[in-house]
């Protein structure tokens, strides 16, 4: 079957759990990981009758940071709404979310596609909502733990601007880096801190129109599976279109054993959430806080990469690796500062990139190691030879002891050369040179 | 004004709404609620005749904005307290009828 002639059209929805101290609408602690079930709950996050939610400002600020990092505009007026549906993970019968008045709208993020080409992905919205409880299915029952219920959750929705899985991969990676540099979430996909949903359809290459259907890939917990599911959908949908079949709006999941997607919900069963404004929560008017929040925001990976390239003359690849991990870039910048010009940015960068655990190294140690080790500099044979000759001349007695057979005496001569070179000489080369000199003069 | 709907449309609507509200209704009940819902919709349609162009909707009667948590942390309920009204619970969990990942 010829699969050419079609292109993917993908829009993404990413959910990220914020790492605030308190839950979204109550004062329960969010520190529930590894704790016994139903120990971090109160009348609000249990949805008991009469309980009233109160907005967590820290979460709103984090949501704005994410929005601003994605070049969005913060709304002058923003509101929460009730998204109604019945499922035991939500004890209230609705989720407090945002619909018509999201906090941040209209942004973009640049990603690389499969040809390495940079494309702007438009961000439709970044809105605030709450997470649900966790269900465990056992036999004929479902066990419910509400510790996660009400954890602040931010949803980021793109326009259908992705046309290959590489762009999707790059987008997810960049978002994760942004969350981590902002310090708003650990964004650990394995732990479910960050979750992806994809709306996937295909169209003939060259067509600018959006297909009249889309398949929603949902409840896929691993990034690898999501990529596999998108690739599977591409083939399945093209095959269906080639056969003249009509594709419809539906929700599909991923079966890892069979390596295929499967129908979860058809069009007829599509949810009807009946959103309406949450009457218990007053409107947010926080656009005036943007100036202050921008001041508090750290430098983001993209800006860091630019600075490393322009100001420190690092190659793109090194700049990218360093900037992608805020701990690593911190070690890099501190080490560079401590080295006070004795080391080039590239030397420090290479050392960290080539270390397995660069991000956890002590900057002082990195500098010290570099200054005393091979990468530290003086490898020039003539210079080392000059210093070695000086050392032998100034320590004739020690040289004599070596020549008489006490070979360990060379250590003290190596020490002299290292001191003369201020620790910058290559120790192995120094030893070799001293041996040559001492043996030839005997 | 709303176009009058056929009985069939009405019963489909009421079934849909009942499903969304998670209410299992018998055929007799569907008929009763269908009639009642019709009356409610007529009433709303009557309200809809008022010209509200340019009038801001009221979502809350209290005109306040930006009300936030104080930041303190509350003592959460204990699992025992939280579970005391649950019809079924096991270990620390609430137990519901099997809900399988669809």
Instruction: Using the predicted structure, report yes or no on whether residue B4 has a pLDDT greater than 80.
Output: no
> Which of A185, A183, A171 lies closest to A327 in space, CA to CA?
A183
- The domain segmentation of chain B, as residue ranges, is 7-48
8 Å CB contact of B82 and A41: yes
Which is more confident, A4 or A183? A183
Q: Measure the CA–CA gap between A230 and A241, rounded to whole angstroms.
A: 16
| Cβ atoms A50, A182 nearer than 8 A | no
A28–chain B Cβ distance below 8 A for any pair: yes
- Residues 23-52 on B with a CB inside 8 Å of A are none
Gap between the terminal Cα atoms of chain B: 40
The Cα of A199 is separated from the nearest Cα of chain B by a number of Å equal to 18
Residue A270's pLDDT band (cuts 50, 70, 90): low
Instruction: State how far residue B49 is from chain A, nearest Cα, in angstroms.
Output: 21
Q: For residue range A122-181, what is the model confidence (pLDDT) as tens digits?
A: 999 999 999 999 998 877 889 999 999 999 999 999 999 999 999 999 999 999 999 999
Nearest to A265 among B22, B98, B102 (CB): B102
Contact A149, A91 (CB under 8 A): yes
Residue B7 sits at the chain A interface (C-beta within 8 Å): no
- Determine the Cα–Cα distance for residues A415 and A391; give it in Å rounded to an integer: 9
Q: Do A140 and B97 touch (CB under 8 A)?
A: yes
Q: Measured between alpha carbons, how far is A249 from A301 in angstroms, rounded to an integer?
A: 37
Residues of B in contact with A252 (CB under 8 A): none
Structural domains in chain A, sorted by start: 6-291 (no CATH), 301-376 (no CATH), 381-441 (1.10.10)
Q: Is B58 on the interface with A (CB under 8 A)?
A: no
Return the closest-CA partner of residue B97 out of A86, A41, A42, A132. A86
Q: What is the pLDDT of residues A288-329, one digit of tens each?
A: 999 999 999 999 998 999 999 999 888 888 899 999 888 899
Give the residue on B whose Cα is nearest the Cα of A274.
B20
B92/A39 CB distance under 8 A? yes
Of the segments A360-369, A402-411, A433-442, B34-43, which one has the largest average pLDDT value? Answer: B34-43
Predicted local confidence at residue A200, as pLDDT: 97
Q: Mutual orientation of helices A410-420 and A381-394 as an angle, nearest 10°?
A: 120
For residue A260, pLDDT beyond 90: yes
Instruction: Using CB atoms, pick whichever of B60, B65, B93 lies closest to residue A143.
Output: B93
Q: What is the dihedral of CA A339, A342, A344, A350, to 10 degrees?
A: -60
Contacts of A93 in chain B (CB under 8 A): 22
Chain B residues close to A79, C-beta within 8 Å = 59
Least confident of A248-252, A397-401, B1-5: B1-5
The minimal CB distance from A38 to the residues B59, B69, B79 is found for B79
- Chain B contact for A146, CB < 8 A? yes
Name the residue among B82, B93, B99 with its Cβ closest to that of A46.
Answer: B82
Region B85-98 average pLDDT? 90
DSSP string for residues in A353-414: HHSTTGGGS-HHHHHHHHHHSGGGS---HHHHHHHHHHHHHHTHHHHHHHHTT-GGGHHHHH
pLDDT band (50, 70, 90) for residue A377: low
Average pLDDT over residues A400-407: 84
Chain B interface includes A439 (CB < 8 A): no
pLDDT at A107: 97
> For position B75, what pLDDT does the model report?
80
Q: Residue A396 and residue A438: Cα distance in Å, rounded?
A: 10
Residue of B nearest to A77 (CA): B65
Candidates 1.10.20, 3.40.1360, 3.40.50, 1.10.3470; CATH matching B7-48: 1.10.20
- Read off the pLDDT of each residue in A375-380 and give the average, rounded to a whole number: 58
Mean of pLDDT over chain A: 90
Phi then psi dihedrals of residue A256, to 5 deg: -70, -30
Q: Indicate whether A232 pLDDT > 60.
A: yes
Q: How far is B1 from chain A (nearest CA, A)?
A: 22
Judge whether B81 is closer than 8 Å to chain A, CB to CB.
no
Residue B78 touches partner A, C-beta closer than 8 Å: yes
Alpha helices in A130-188 (DSSP H): 165-182
Dmax (CA) of chain B: 57
Please give the pLDDT value at position B34: 87
Q: How large is the average pLDDT for residues B60-74? A: 85
- B-chain CB neighbours of A85 within 8 Å are 20
Q: Are A15 and A189 in contact (CB under 8 A)?
A: no
Length of chain B: 102
Side-chain half-sphere exposure of A1, counting CA atoms within 13 A:
12
Helix (H) and strand (E) counts for chain B? 3, 2
pLDDT at A1: 46
- What pLDDT is recorded for position B5? 54
Q: Is the pLDDT of residue B101 over 60?
A: no
The reply to whether A79 touches chain B by the CB within 8 Å rule is yes
Bigger pLDDT: A1 vs A278: A278
The predicted pLDDT at position B6 comes to 54
Residue B74 has pLDDT above 80, yes or no: no
Query: A172 CA to chain B: closest CA distance, Å?
Result: 25
pLDDT at A341 over 80: no
Q: Is the pLDDT of residue B102 over 50?
A: no
The answer to whether B92 and A39 are in contact (CB under 8 A) is yes
ipTM field = 0.83
A134 burial level (CB within 10 Å; 0-12, 13-18, 19+)? middle
A47 touches chain B (CB under 8 A): no
Report the gap between the CA of A258 and the closest CA in chain B (Å).
17
Mean pLDDT over the full length of chain B: 83
Asked if the Cβ–Cβ distance from A28 to B76 is below 8 Å, we say: yes
Determine the Cα–Cα distance for residues A425 and A246; give it in Å rounded to an integer: 73
Residue A334 has pLDDT above 60, yes or no: yes
Chain B CB contacts of A86 below 8 Å:
20-22
Under the banding of pLDDT at 50, 70 and 90, the label for residue B2 is very low
Which of the two residues, A80 and A34, has the higher pLDDT score? A80
Maximum Cα–Cα distance for chain A, whole Å? 97
Of A38, A87, A282, the CB nearest to B62: A282
Task: Give the span between the Cα atoms of B63 and B27, in whole angstroms.
Answer: 45
Instruction: Kindly report which listed range (A192-201, A262-271, A380-389, B18-27) carries the lowest average pLDDT score.
Output: A262-271
* Cβ atoms of residues B98 and A140 within 8 Å: yes
């Amino acid at each position: 079957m010829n699969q050419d002639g079609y292109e993917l059209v993908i829009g993404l929805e990413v959910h990220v759990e914020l790492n605030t101290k308190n839950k979204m609408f109550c004062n329960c602690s969010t520190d529930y990981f590894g704790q016994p079930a139903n120990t971090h709950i109160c009348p609000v996050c249990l949805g008991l009758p009469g309980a009233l939610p109160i907005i967590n400002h820290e979460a709103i600020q984090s949501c704005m940071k994410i929005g601003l990092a994605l070049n969005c505009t913060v709304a002058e007026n923003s509101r929460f709404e009730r998204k109604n549906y019945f499922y035991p993970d939500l004890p209230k019968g609705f989720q407090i979310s945002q619909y018509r008045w999201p906090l941040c709208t209209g942004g973009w993020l640049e990603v690389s596609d499969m040809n390495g080409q940079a494309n702007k992905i438009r961000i439709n919205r970044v809105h605030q909502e709450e997470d649900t409880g966790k269900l465990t299915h056992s036999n004929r029952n479902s066990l419910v733990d509400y510790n996660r219920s009400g954890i602040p959750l931010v949803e980021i929705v793109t326009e259908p601007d992705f046309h290959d899985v590489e762009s999707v991969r790059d987008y997810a990676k960049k978002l994760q880096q942004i969350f981590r540099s902002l310090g708003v979430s650990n964004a650990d996909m394995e732990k479910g801190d960050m979750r992806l949903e994809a709306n996937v359809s295909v169209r003939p290459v060259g067509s600018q129109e959006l297909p009249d259907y889309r398949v929603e890939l949902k409840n896929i917990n691993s990034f690898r599976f999501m990529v596999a599911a998108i690739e599977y959908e591409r083939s399945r949908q093209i095959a269906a279109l080639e056969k003249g079949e009509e594709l419809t709006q539906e929700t599909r999941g991923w079966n890892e054993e069979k390596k295929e997607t499967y129908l979860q919900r058809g069009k007829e069963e599509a949810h009807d959430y009946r959103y309406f404004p949450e009457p218990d929560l007053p409107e947010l008017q926080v656009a005036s806080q943007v100036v202050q929040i921008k001041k508090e925001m750290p430098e983001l990976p993209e800006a860091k990469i630019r600075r490393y390239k322009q100001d420190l003359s690092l190659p793109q690849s090194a700049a990218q690796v360093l900037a992608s991990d805020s701990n690593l870039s911190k070690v890099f910048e501190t080490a560079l500062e401590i080295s006070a010009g004795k080391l080039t940015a590239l030397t420090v960068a290479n050392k960290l990139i080539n270390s397995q655990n660069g991000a956890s190294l002590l900057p002082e140690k990195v500098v010290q190691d570099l200054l005393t080790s091979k990468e530290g500099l003086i490898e020039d044979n003539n210079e080392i030879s000059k210093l070695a000759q000086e050392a032998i001349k100034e320590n004739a007695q020690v040289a004599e002891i070596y020549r008489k057979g006490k070979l360990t005496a060379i250590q003290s001569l190596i020490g002299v050369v290292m001191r003369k070179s201020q620790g910058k000489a290559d120790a192995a080369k120094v030893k070799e040179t001293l041996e040559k000199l001492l043996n030839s003069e005997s | 004004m709303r176009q009058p709907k056929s009985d069939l449309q009405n019963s489909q609507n009421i079934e849909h709404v009942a499903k969304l509200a998670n209410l299992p209704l018998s055929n007799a009940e569907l008929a009763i609620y269908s009639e009642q819902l019709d009356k409610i919709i007529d009433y709303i349609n009557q309200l809809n005749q008022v010209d509200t162009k340019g009038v801001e909707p009221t979502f809350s009667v209290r005109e306040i904005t930006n009300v936030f948590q104080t930041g303190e942390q509350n003592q959460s309920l204990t699992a025992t307290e939280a579970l005391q009204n649950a019809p079924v619970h096991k270990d620390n969990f609430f137990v519901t009828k099997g809900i399988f990942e669809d």
